[in-house]
Amino acid sequence: MIYRALFDHGFSRTDPEKAHHAAFRAIRAARPVTAVRRTPGTPVRALGLTFPNVLGLAAGFDKNAVGIDGLAALGFGHVEVGTVTGEAQPGNPKPRLFRLPEDRAVVNRMGFNNDGAEVVAERLKARGRRPGPVLGVNIGKSKVVPEEEAVHDYVKSARLLAPYADYLVVNVSSPNTPGLRNLQAVEKLEPILTAVQGVAAGVPLLVKIAPDLADDDVLGVADLALAIGLDGIIATNTTISRAGLRTPDAKVEEVGAGGLSGRPLTDRSLDVLRLLRGRVGPDLTLIGVGGITTVADARARLDAGATLLQGYTAFIYEGPLWPRRIVQGVQA
């Protein structure tokens, strides 16, 4: 409650991207103190790995793999870094990150700003293997790479990053790279996934999909995952929809384009997860993400068939105690 009051009356008046960097610096600086705290929760076995608990931090917060251990010390059982692209890129022009407090939501059009696969791979190599969170690496297409060369771009990132990842995620669902979501079509997605499988050296591979896919397309991705032996699916990324928001239309229009995350995704992300579980059966790993804010949200996602959970936007709005609150709540 103290954090929420501080957020609503202080942090929310700060530029969102500047606030993110300031908060992340504080998390990294606090790591030596917080690292002695035991990770909460019950271990979960998935992807051939043992996750310290059910909740992870979704990709987008730590794009460049600079704060993995500090984030884990807050209670996350896994941390997914990225999205990392084959080529370094600055992302879209600023401002590109916006809060919608009335909806407990965020709009971003960051554009995969990151240091590039070569730099991130060297950073992970220097970090080395160590006890702690399960480490996921999320890879996406470089903006400068045309769609017809996307396979080679994903393969480059996978080859560089797979040696340091516990699992890899192919991101074809961000709305902020032109044409990226076209790659969710099964006929375009299959060659990317099979090529990445070929260089991932046994590292579990998942795909992250958008909530805006039609139900039939969701089922098509599920069928593809089974056909090629994919290890899992993450459902879902941000949405381009603005339906049902409490934020005034004028404010939404002023914010403009980008992916919407947070509470407005809760229902659709849950529906997509149910569709997937009903199609793939009980064994494939499904990671539920999108609009998980409360313990009830987390339990609903697990009841719908999620193997693991991820959050991001609620972490921004609810503060550093949120991960432990969710983990402890779902096992109560």
Q: What is the CATH number of the domain that holds 17?
A: 3.20.20.70
Active site annotation includes 174: yes
Q: Tell me the three state secondary structure of residue 120.
A: helix
- In DSSP terms, which residues pair with 14 in a beta bridge? none
Question: Using N-to-C axis directions, what is the helix angle for 215-228 and 186-199, rounded to 10°?
Answer: 30
Closest of 319, 170, 162 to residue 234, by C-alpha: 170
**Range of the structural domain that residue 320 is part of:** 2-330
Compute, in degrees rounded to 10, the torsion defined by CA atoms 204, 210, 213, 218.
20
Closest of 146, 136, 178 to residue 310, by C-alpha: 136
Structure tokens at 57: 């931090």
- pLDDT tens, 226-284? 999 999 999 999 999 999 999 999 999 999 999 999 999 999 999 999 999 999 999 99
Taking the C-alpha atoms of residue 46 and residue 96, their distance in angstroms, rounded to an integer, is: 35
Residues 6+ apart with CB under 8 A from 121: 160, 161, 163, 164
Spot the catalytic one: 142, 157, 174, 261. 174
Identify whether the C-beta of residue 80 lies closer than 8 Å to the C-beta of residue 56: yes
pLDDT < 70 positions in the chain: 1-13, 30-38, 332
Tell me how many domains the chain contains. Answer: 1
The pLDDT score that the predictor gives to residue 27 is 75
The pLDDT score that the predictor gives to residue 49 is 97
